Structure 1
Amino acid sequence: MSILNTAGKVVCSGPFSFFLGVSAGLIGLYMVSRIEEQRNLEKMQKEIEAAVKALEAQKKAAEATSTK
């Protein structure tokens, strides 16, 4: 029982608890940053796809008018 008691005191001690909290916070910030980056990449991909479709439509329209 003294091992668990000692482990509890170490885990709940001030400095260890502080560093554990800071580490968890940094990991959380990193995860949020990665999620935002992924969302931005998906948004840019959708914008690029829309631009390509618009250019293809313009090309087809130009080809249709030039053949007439």
Structure 2
Amino acid sequence: MSNELKEVLNATNALLFCEEELSPVFCKPKLIPLKSVTLEKLEKMQNEAMEIMKRMEEDSNEAIAKVNFS
């Protein structure tokens, strides 16, 4: 036995084909929201809390002003 490798398939008994070049396939872009619904809810709650705090500060300032003038 020889240690050389013998070619088993050659052009006459093998299946030959042309290579195809792969090109990128672009999908339709998907739009994602800049802010999630949860983030919008949290911001709304925070804004409402800030408004309540401002009203409470204004009310306390008015009460202090009334006490000082009395």
User: Per the shorter chain, which TM-score range?
Assistant: 0.5 to 0.7
Q: Mark the runs of 5 or more structure 1 residues left unpaired by the alignment.
A: 48-68
Tell me how large the CA RMSD over aligned residues is: 1.8
Q: Deviations over 1:18-64 (max 9, x none)?
A: 000000000000000000000000000000xxxxxxxxxxxxxxxxx
Query: In structure 2, what is the equivalent of residue 35 of structure 1?
Result: 58
Kindly indicate which of the two structures has a greater share of residues assigned to helix.
1
Q: TM (normalized to structure 1)?
A: 0.54
Larger Rg, first or second structure (1 or 2)? 2
Instruction: Return the alpha-carbon distance in structure 2 between the equivalents of residues 32 and 14 of structure 1.
Output: 27
Instruction: Return the alpha-carbon distance in structure 2 between the equivalents of residues 32 and 22 of structure 1.
Output: 15
Query: In structure 2, what is the equivalent of residue 55 of structure 1?
Result: none
Partner letter of residue 27 of structure 1? M
For 1:10, what is the secondary structure of its paired residue?
A: coil
Q: Mark the runs of 5 or more structure 2 residues left unpaired by the alignment.
A: 1-30
* Higher RCO (C-alpha 8 Å, min separation 6): 1
Identity %: 5
For 2:47, what is the secondary structure of its paired residue?
A: helix
Q: TM (normalized to structure 2)?
A: 0.52
